[in-house]
Amino acid sequence: MDMAAVELTKAESLKPIPFGTGYKLIGKDYPTNDLVAKVTGKAKYAEDFRGEGMLFCRLVLSPMPHARVKRINTEKALAMPGVKGILTPADVPGLADYINDNGTRIKADKWGELALAAEPMYQGEPILAVAAVDELTCAEAIEKIDIEMEPLPFNTDPLDSLRPGSANARMDGNIWVQAKPPRGQAELTVLKWTDEDFAAEKEGKLPMGHAPDEWSYGDVDAGFRNAALVLDETFSTEDVSHQCLEPRTAMAHWQNGKLFLYTGTQSTFQTVSAIARWMHMNEEDVVFISEYTGGGFGSKITGALTLVIPALLSKKLNAPVMMRISREEEHFIGRARPGIRARTKVGFDKDGRITALDMFLVSDAGSYGSNGDGGACGQITSLLYQPPAMRWRNVTVVTNTPPRSAQSAPGGMQAIAIIEPILSKAARKLGVDQVALRRVNCPEGKAEYGPPSHGGKRPYATSCFLKQALDEGAKQFNWSERAARQPKQVGTRVRGVGVALSTYHGGTIGFDGLIIITPQGRVQIQSGAGNLGTEALIDVHRAAAEVLDVPWEACDIVWGDTSKHFPYTCASGGSQTIHALTRAGHAVALECVRRLKEVAAKSLGGQPADYEVANLRVSQKGGGVGMSFAEAAQHAIKLGGIYDGHDVNPQVNKATKKAVAALAGQGLVASAKDNYPHDGDSFSYVACFAEVEADLETGKYQITDYLAYADVGTVIHPAALGGQVLGRSTLGMAHAIGQKWVIDPHYGVTVAERFYQNRPPTILDVPVDMKWNALNIPDPETPVGARGIGEPPVGGGCAAITNALADALGDNIFQRVPVNADTILTSYEAGRPMQNPLLAHI
Amino acid sequence: MAVIRDVMPAFDLLQPASAADAQKLLETYREDAWVMAGGMDSFDWLKDRIKKPKVLVDLSGVDELKGIRSTGDGVEIGAMTTLTEIANHPEIKKNYGLLSDAVERVASPQIRNQGTLGGNVSQDARCWYYRAGWPCYRAGGNECYADTPVGRNREHAIFGADRCVAVHPSDSAPALIALDAKFVIHNSKGEHVVDAEDFFVGPDIDITRLNMLNPGDLLTAIRIPSTWSGAKFYFEKVRDRNVWDFPLMNVASAMKLSGGNIDEMRIAVNAVAPRPLRLKAVEAAVRGKPADATTGEMAGKLAVQGAVPLQFNAYKIPLMRNLVKRAIGGVQETSWTS
Amino acid sequence: MSESDDLKQNDGAAKTITRRNFILGVIAGGAVVSAASYRFLAHSRRPLPGAGERLITLYVNGKPRRVDVMKQETLAWTLRYKLGLTGTKLGCDRAECGSCTVLIDDTPYYSCSVLTHTVRGRNVTTIEGLAAADGKLHPVQQAVVDSQGFQCAFCMPGFVMSAVAFLKSHPNPTRAEMAYGVSGNLCRCQDYSKILDSMMRAAEYMRRA
């Protein structure tokens, strides 16, 4: 009997649990510690810091999509009063090899991006920076600089790049071949398909030439042979910018050989090593300050490479330098989700169960670095719809367009956007209810996914209760009634409902926690995550406080400044934080309890086991002697050694050891590593439901209702979770309703670079009253039971909308997202999708 | 010269307190002066450093250009009256609701608080090539970058293209045309008044501007005659996002009916051509016909005759047809029973 | 001959050839050209007047403030860089996001798009001016705290300022009306639902206050 079947029996009986059941802090709402500063304007983001004699710097961006900078004449600019210095590509150090946490040397990427480019690979790439007393002087100086450039061949459309004879985006290649396990880096090479390969284009289908990346499992051919219905669909997703509201502005100054750097980040802890690597410095000489970050979504995992510009200028000019990034600059350097063109063949049996799935992807890598979106697209498809047989092929194409990076649910979002419309179409063709079709394909328990790994076994999830979320969500949304409602059209208005499954990775393991019980009796928790608004930075420590059984008011969270010393911490990206750091927090809280008992026993007599910790005291069980946390901290300092950080828990990471050493003597200093068992890979899941109303005469539609029902394990902080569930759902919706890039391929130049051209959703573009809910069933593979939520709703947020649109308008409207008035108006009249899914950036 | 954006160039700021003073300044500085009303269009040009005027004449301190006055035969709206004030003005709402509907749909609340009627009708084209500083026809060059085999022109013109395919982006302009508004312009020769539709200029007349204002001219007021007071109005704007966005298209109409038949109608659309289009053929064809879907359909088909789509904007043809239809036949109320 | 001239000639030819050749036709091999001429010919090259500052008095958060201001300086810049009021954020500097929203005589404006010289003598209120002198939060601020409203909060000051103004004139908004009232503010965390929860709570607090 396989494991999934065992889980299934157990899982079927599981029901939603009221938030906070059995806990004092976990599952309860509370105002996070950073909130008052935010709402009074006191919260300081990078651009809010000032330095004595601070200079400003501004960038010069490449006007060409691919060129070589031949000559820069800065003479007139430097002669201007107020101009202090100019940074050119020659001043920026190359990429260095680095040693990772396992001690492995990672070779510098020879195709890697630098802060200033001598051979810009996309229009908008920074090539020069000017520092002056103010921005007006910077601007006037920049206009006095002459730059001669040699235009080089370019290509902005990934499919064009695969055509015979087409230009390559880079001089030495046009595609990335993914890293081969066990370790390796993606390699650049040249791939061209043949004219015969491109024949499919004439039928509006994605051509399928050679694809270098491939895996499969099961008998795909047999799956199609035995199918009652086989669909072969071409579908494209758009490149979508992260568009964090805070641009990646950075400020730097130097003091006694140390670099002080201020910028937004998704990990205060991990950005230090990135800065050190980019600057060729020792980590000890970098102080990184990032108290508040105005959005990241994957684009600020370790700050941004451009931060070296003010750092280098500041060093050169011996003054603080503020590099404000404008919205237009942010469009170019601010990263984006790669668009994917997909052709997917799916076989279904008569009940809608998938029999086989064959996925072929062309992913756009942009100008720098391969990305994992194509790979994740295959993995997530495999997990979420559980095809018994699947083949995945992928080609990752380099284009002369702005660099991509992970964006909330990288690859997963595209997978769901691509597959869900096929499921919807199949349900209609087979006469199966949309929820029912998803139910038969829904993962469950320790669901397997992807191809077998080296050991021959397929990886699997820690747990999955998506079926329960789907059922509960369908109930709350009144799915059956809504789906059966008639009429669907009144006058020129049609309405439709859609459901979509959604998932993404929900956590990592193996990080450290660090807590100090101070002589004042405070519980000081060192938090090295980034503060980008998910509140995970603070929420995770509710788990530690719960284990320590202390009131939240006794806890102080220290964050945002690496001179305050943080433990080895994950980046707040990929929905890791809640999972990884509740584990680490749980571990360090238990360590704290253990040390408190030992301190009490050593000072008051008896065995540690005779003591218990509660209400900020450690006391003998049954009401004997005891001491307050304050007293225990004072005793710990007297005892020294492991108790006050002069010795350190040998299990923790070397970075944590350094932090402990720096904090030694300040109280009872406890550190611990998350060593908890973890069978499987953590994912979170969401069932998404939407209703839309479209006007056939204008092509305008409005999302009128939305519900996301989440399976995220234990709910830690309901309000913050709700914000994430709906916020990231809306991030997904944005892909359906409007966000896009527009690039003129003839010049290789972006024409839509402002919000009013790229169209991030406004408050009036989403339902006025969105709903969310969560099962609150703990994940059995993690001590607190909590998994992450940032990524999992994104794909479903997009696909629930497109599915509702297809319900309203039929299956012949769109083959790409976003779907807008133009898509609907032209296609509805023609009775077939009129927008070419293969053209990029329209 | 390397390019930098998002730093406003230095200029001399002149802040007249009277229309006469403003007038004098414009006369004095002529081509060197940039007239700023609310500034919502101006700031983009300035921050992009594409326009670097020597002096900026800020009209925000000219109180006599602000406000809405009843004239006995309609209303006069000062050119510096904000869109918010117009949207909320009782008399305009009551008698000329077409205009309040139109300005209510401009951009965002903050922009309507600052943006003025004069500015809204005088704003420049939003073609993304032109606004990004490409040396196109409208910018004095010899090329249209939007109208090429691969040019990105989803939001461009289906009518009236003459080398330039940009569209006029104003929401208030078609409403003012439908209301038969008169634009009051002052210059050294005194006051002259033009019909709303004649204020706007296509590329066939002058490719470098969207309206007839010359250096030295000051748009002071817009007068709405009582002719169409209380008529049956229709305004609709179709845009991608419900805030901020310029129209993919809009339509404004005023109809006088007797017994369900159309006695007289004025109708204009915008964002289909480099100037707002009054649809005179439609106005003539619907006269005497019932204001219903059948007439609307006929009118819609008539309206789009001669439209020339570009590669990415063919949707504008059914959209215009349908908007004209709706302006006449109305939209069926949607009342879902469950 | 500039690159642009090259491009124009290619364009002329392109109209008679296929799209494919058209795209590929762009590259002029080996030519070295000025970066500025690639597409930006329309820039004015007029010499610039000096960036003189002038001392003016502003009324910010109820207090007169003497400050040196350039002619072309925006209110957002003056607040942030001259008066140290960094609660007003610059998200786009183009009237497209609302992070810089402040009240001028109780009406919300994008301070990135207001020249400081045009608000002499008018009352400017920023996020720093909402709480009482004793630190007691404004009802809208308190409602945000009580609802855990917003995520990264870069947009928060702007939203709060819009809401303060809107709720003064619309004390009893429906949820849809409230959304309309703050529709000139963009949230990229897309936390609109929770923001509206907190704004509806704010309406209640303001009615009670």
Which chains are within 8 Å of B by 3+ CB pairs?
A, C
Least Cα distance to C123 among C154, C139, C102, C140 occurs for C102
User: What sign does the CA torsion over C161, C162, C165, C171 have?
Assistant: negative
Least Cα distance to A710 among A832, A793, A821 occurs for A793
Residue A258 has pLDDT above 70, yes or no: yes
For the beta carbon of residue C177, count every other beta carbon within 10 angstroms: 13
- Span B280-295, mean pLDDT? 98
pLDDT in tens, A698-718: 999 999 999 999 999 999 999
Cα–Cα distance, B148 to C170 (Å, whole number)? 50
Burial class (CB in 10 A: 0-12, 13-18, 19+), B333: exposed
Nearest to A746 among B6, B150, B318 (CB): B150
Instruction: For residue B281, give how far its alpha carbon lies from the nearest alpha carbon of chain C (Å).
Output: 34
- Check residue C53 and give its pLDDT: 78
Q: Which of A744, A754, A819, A832 to probe by mutation at the B interface, max B CB count within 10 Å?
A: A744
Burial class (CB in 10 A: 0-12, 13-18, 19+), B321: buried
- Check residue C34 and give its pLDDT: 56
- Interface predicted TM-score (ipTM): 0.97
Q: Could you tell me which residues come within 8 angstroms of residue A345 by beta carbon, excluding any fewer than 6 positions away?
A: A224, A230, A231, A232, A233, A356, A357, A358
Compare all CA atoms of chain C with the CA of B59 and give the residue at the minimum distance.
C118
- Check residue A60 and give its pLDDT: 98
Instruction: For residue B143, give how far its alpha carbon lies from the nearest alpha carbon of chain C (Å).
Output: 7
Least Cα distance to A340 among A390, A424, A407 occurs for A407
Better-scored residue on pLDDT, C8 or A111: A111
Better-scored residue on pLDDT, A643 or A186: A643
Residue C141 has pLDDT above 50, yes or no: yes
Chain B residue numbers with beta carbons less than 8 Å from the beta carbon of C184 are 107-111, 243-244
Amino acid (1-letter code) at residue A436: A
Q: Which of A136, A143, A816 to probe by mutation at the B interface, max B CB count within 10 Å?
A: A143
Nearest to C40 among B3, B13, B242 (CB): B3
Put simply, the chain A residues between 785 and 804 with a CB less than 8 A from any chain C CB are: none
pLDDT in tens, A87-105: 999 999 999 888 776 778 8
- Check residue A1 and give its pLDDT: 27
- Under the banding of pLDDT at 50, 70 and 90, the label for residue C13 is very low
According to DSSP, the β-strands at A555-558 and A523-526 are parallel
Nearest to B334 among A491, A820, A834 (CB): A491
> B120-142 burial, b if ≥16 CB within 10 A, otherwise e?
bbbbbbbbbbbbbbbbbbbbebe
Nearest to C95 among B15, B40, B52 (CB): B40
Residue A608 has pLDDT above 70, yes or no: yes
Residue C40 has pLDDT above 60, yes or no: no
Q: Rounded to two decimals, what is the model's pTM?
A: 0.95
Mean pLDDT in chain B? 97
- Check residue A14 and give its pLDDT: 85
Compare all CA atoms of chain A with the CA of B325 and give the residue at the minimum distance.
A697
Domain B1-338 has CATH 3.30.465.10: yes
pLDDT in tens, A42-98: 999 999 999 999 999 999 999 999 999 999 999 999 999 999 999 999 999 999 888
> A607-633 burial, b if ≥16 CB within 10 A, otherwise e?
ebebbbbeebbbbbeeeeebbebbbbb
pLDDT in tens, B256-283: 999 999 999 999 999 999 999 999 999 9
Q: Angle A412-430/A434-441 helices, nearest 10 degrees?
A: 120
Q: Which helix (H) or strand (E) holds A416?
A: helix A412-430
Chain B residue numbers with beta carbons less than 8 Å from the beta carbon of C180 are 109
Q: Give B256's strand partners.
A: B264
Asked if the Cβ–Cβ distance from B331 to A762 is below 8 Å, we say no
Cα–Cα distance, C12 to A809 (Å, whole number)? 42
- Check residue A98 and give its pLDDT: 80
Residue B334 has pLDDT above 90, yes or no: no
Least Cα distance to A126 among A391, A310, A290 occurs for A310
Nearest to A64 among C38, C85, C193 (CB): C38
* Helix residue spans in B81-139 (DSSP H): 83-88, 90-95, 97-104, 109-114, 117-122, 128-131
Instruction: For residue C35, give how far its alpha carbon lies from the nearest alpha carbon of chain B (Å).
Output: 7
> Taking the domains of chain B in order of start, what are their residue ranges?
1-338
Cα–Cα distance, A350 to A770 (Å, whole number)? 34
- Under the banding of pLDDT at 50, 70 and 90, the label for residue A181 is low
- Under the banding of pLDDT at 50, 70 and 90, the label for residue C50 is very low
Beta strands in chain B, from DSSP E residues, in sequence order: 12-14, 33-36, 55-58, 68-70, 74-78, 182-187, 190-195, 218-225, 232-238, 249-258, 261-270, 277-278
Instruction: For residue A661, give how far its alpha carbon lies from the nearest alpha carbon of chain C (Å).
Output: 32
Residue C49 has pLDDT above 70, yes or no: no
Check if the beta carbon of residue A245 is closer than 8 Å to that of residue C155.
yes
Cα–Cα distance, C208 to A116 (Å, whole number)? 56
**In this predicted structure, which of A180-184, B158-162, B302-306, C46-50 has the lowest mean pLDDT?**
C46-50
Residue A540 has pLDDT above 60, yes or no: yes
- Span C142-161, mean pLDDT? 97
- Check residue A99 and give its pLDDT: 78
Asked if the Cβ–Cβ distance from C186 to A762 is below 8 Å, we say yes
Compare all CA atoms of chain B with the CA of C111 and give the residue at the minimum distance.
B110
According to DSSP, the β-strands at A321-323 and A336-337 are unpaired
For chain C, percent of residues with pLDDT exceeding 90: 74
Backbone angles phi, psi at B287, to 5 degrees: -60, 130
Asked if the Cβ–Cβ distance from B133 to C114 is below 8 Å, we say no
- Under the banding of pLDDT at 50, 70 and 90, the label for residue C26 is very low
Q: Give A3's strand partners.
A: none
Cα–Cα distance, B184 to B99 (Å, whole number)? 17
Nearest to A41 among C126, C145, C146 (CB): C126
Determine the distance from the C-alpha atom of residue A348 to the mean position of all C-alpha atoms in its chain, rounded to a whole number: 32
Backbone angles phi, psi at C160, to 5 degrees: -60, -40
Q: Which of C72, C74, C75 to probe by mutation at the B interface, max B CB count within 10 Å?
A: C72
For chain A, percent of residues with pLDDT exceeding 90: 94
Residue C1 has pLDDT above 50, yes or no: no
Cα–Cα distance, B236 to B238 (Å, whole number)? 7
Which chains are within 8 Å of A by 3+ CB pairs?
B, C
DSSP 8-state class, residue C80: I
pLDDT in tens, A726-778: 999 999 999 999 999 999 999 999 999 999 999 999 999 999 999 999 999 99
Least Cα distance to C189 among A770, A408, A244 occurs for A244
- Span A798-819, mean pLDDT? 97
